[in-house]
Amino acid sequence: MNQELELVESMDKLGVLMNKFQTELLNGELKEYTLRQLYYIELIDKHEGISVSEISKTLELKKSTVSIAINQLLELEIVTKIQSNTDKRFYFIKLTPKGKDIMKMHKQVHQNTIKKIINILNPGEVDSFIKIVDKIAALNL
């Protein structure tokens, strides 16, 4: 059969899937946060000490947008801002213990799903999947 057509369907299913994968977060203990907030938290977890400007460039958002979002996370005691000693215009943004807890729960939710996936795939399939995703991701679409 036509591989292209089948792949179209697969991508469709994958879209639905990834949507569920993401919105799962909004059900449990993390439901008080928005996806956007969890996304900021994830980014800060991955790049400890990142600045507002850097986030703004990474996410292609205006500085004002990011500034407000970060100060909101600050208000919620999810992040801290530490002014740089060498350049006082800069602030290093980091996760607080509360922020790290959120990140832990976030990862937990995803890991639970991943366990279910590993359960129904055989090891060879898991390997193929990882390799194929890597290849596609390298495409940079």
Partner DNA sequence: TATAATAGTTAGTTTGATAAAACTATTTAT
Partner DNA sequence: ATAAATAGTTTTATCAAACTAACTATTATA
Q: Which residues bind a copy of itself (CB under 8 A)?
A: 3-4, 6-11, 13-18, 20-22, 24, 107, 110-111, 113-118, 120-121, 123, 125-139, 141
Between CA 25 and CA 61 the distance in angstroms is: 23
Our finding on whether 67 is near DNA (CB under 7 A) is yes
List the one residue from 64, 112, 113, 128 that touches DNA (CB under 7 A).
64
Our finding on whether 35 is near DNA (CB under 7 A) is yes
Our finding on whether 51 is near DNA (CB under 7 A) is yes
Shortest distance, CB of residue 77 to DNA, whole angstroms?
15
Our finding on whether 82 is near DNA (CB under 7 A) is no
CA dihedral 38, 39, 43, 48 (to 10 degrees): -20
Among candidate residues 55, 88, 83, the one with its CA nearest the CA of residue 70: 55
- Would you list the DSSP string of 85-124? SS-TT-EEEEE-HHHHHHHHHHHHHHHHHHHHHHHHS-HH
What is the binding site for DNA (CB under 7 A)? 34-37, 51-54, 60-65, 67-71, 81, 86-91
